């Protein structure tokens, strides 16, 4: 019996989810979100402005029509110190199927096609970006969905901190994930009011194996004070000194970001 084209994508999705769960030691459940981080890289401010217009007027409204809320859009916190123009888009999905089916749903959204026409039909001579990089993340067991910060100050003043922790091996990646979950690292962040946005493990991306998470603060002074409190916290000192959690991070990247005026977060 021939397998129809309709069945093949479903089989692929089931296979992808099974492989990712086995590779990173994650339970096969549907209670945890997936997050995509798309990073737009630009050669010019004009490109960034065109993409900003597309994201605000076409892309986010289309996601909202699909029931995808809490979409974050960020830029480097201090753009004068950034060596490259970038825009970060954080998109939550309640399943791998929702992630995989989004392109086809957008292609059939006539309003999206009309609102985003200039971007979507840009020529090869005047592209709206230099390139896009993408990372797919599975939410942690102890933080299964995206969260909104409980900050009261204007969004323009806030600092969003995105961190990426690479591990030397897949086994040590699982060890670091366990440190966040069962080990209690998330508990420390919560107790110290780090206002997390998400925690998750990367299942597809340019740097693996690694985990990523995002926290948020009222401003840089608050951010620095929170990290000072974390470094001297007794629970953290005890957790980080445990023999079983040694040498599970080989490289760390820290990105300090600010939300755009149209970001949901």
Residue 211 lies in a domain: yes
Name the nearest CA neighbour of 37 among 82, 77, 89, 85: 89
Contacts of 156 (CB under 8 A, 6+ apart): 258, 259, 261
Tell me, what DSSP letter sits at residue 1?
-
Residue 21 lies in a domain: no
Nearest-5° Cα angle at 152, 180 to 80: 80
Residue 24 lies in a domain: no
CATH code of 176's domain = 3.30.70.100
pLDDT in tens, the chain (265 residues): 444 444 444 444 544 554 444 444 444 566 899 999 999 999 999 999 999 999 999 999 999 999 999 999 999 998 766 678 999 999 999 999 999 999 999 999 999 999 999 999 999 999 999 999 999 999 999 999 999 999 999 888 999 999 999 999 999 999 999 999 999 999 999 999 999 999 999 999 999 999 999 999 999 999 999 999 999 999 999 999 999 999 999 999 999 999 999 999 9
Q: What is the pLDDT of residue 1?
A: 43
Residue 23 lies in a domain: no
What SS3 class is residue 204?
Answer: strand
Identify any residues that bridge with 131 across adjacent strands, giving them in sequence order.
41
Alpha-carbon distance values, 165 to 62, 104, 108, 118, 197 (Å): 32, 33, 38, 37, 16
Residue 39 lies in a domain: yes
Residue 7 lies in a domain: no
Tell me which residue range forms the domain holding 223. 30-259
The count of domains in the chain is 1
The C-alpha atoms of residue 26 and residue 245 are separated, in whole angstroms, by: 18
What's the pTM value of the predicted model, to 2 decimals?
0.88
Q: What is the pLDDT of residue 3?
A: 45
Q: Which residue has the tokens 């995002």?
A: 214
Residue 15 lies in a domain: no
Residue 107 lies in a domain: yes
The C-alpha atoms of residue 169 and residue 167 are separated, in whole angstroms, by: 6
Contacts of 165 (CB under 8 A, 6+ apart): 176, 210, 211, 212, 249, 251, 252
Quick check: 97 and 58 in contact, CB under 8 A?
no
Are β-strands 196-204 and 72-76 bridged in parallel, bridged antiparallel, or unpaired?
Answer: unpaired
Structure tokens at 132: 């896009």
Q: What is the pLDDT of residue 83?
A: 74
């Amino acid at each position: 019996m021939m397998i129809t084209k309709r069945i093949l994508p479903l089989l692929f999705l089931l296979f992808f989810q099974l492989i990712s769960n086995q590779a990173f030691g994650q339970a096969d459940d549907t209670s945890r979100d997936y997050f995509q981080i798309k990073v737009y890289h630009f050669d010019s401010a004009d490109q960034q402005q065109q993409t900003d217009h597309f994201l605000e007027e076409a892309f986010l409204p289309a996601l909202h029509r699909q029931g995808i809320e809490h979409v974050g859009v960020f830029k480097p916190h201090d753009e004068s110190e950034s060596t490259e123009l970038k825009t970060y888009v954080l998109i939550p999905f309640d399943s791998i199927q929702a992630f995989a089916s989004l392109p086809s749903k957008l292609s059939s959204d006539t309003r999206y096609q009309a609102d985003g026409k200039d971007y979507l039909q840009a020529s090869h001579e005047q592209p709206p970006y230099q390139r896009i990089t993408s990372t797919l993340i599975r939410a942690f067991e102890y933080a299964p969905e995206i969260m909104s910060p409980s900050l009261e100050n204007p969004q323009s003043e806030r600092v969003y901190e995105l961190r990426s922790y690479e591990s030397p091996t897949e086994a040590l990646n699982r060890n670091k994930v366990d440190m966040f979950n069962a080990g209690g690292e998330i508990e420390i962040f919560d107790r110290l009011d780090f206002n997390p946005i998400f925690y998750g493990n990367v299942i597809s991306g340019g740097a693996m194996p690694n985990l990523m998470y995002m926290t948020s603060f009222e401003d840089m002074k608050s951010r620095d004070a929170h990290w000072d409190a974390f470094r001297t916290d007794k629970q953290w000192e005890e957790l980080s000194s445990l023999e079983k959690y040694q040498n599970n991070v080989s490289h760390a990247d820290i990105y300090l970001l600010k939300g755009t005026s149209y970001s949901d977060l």
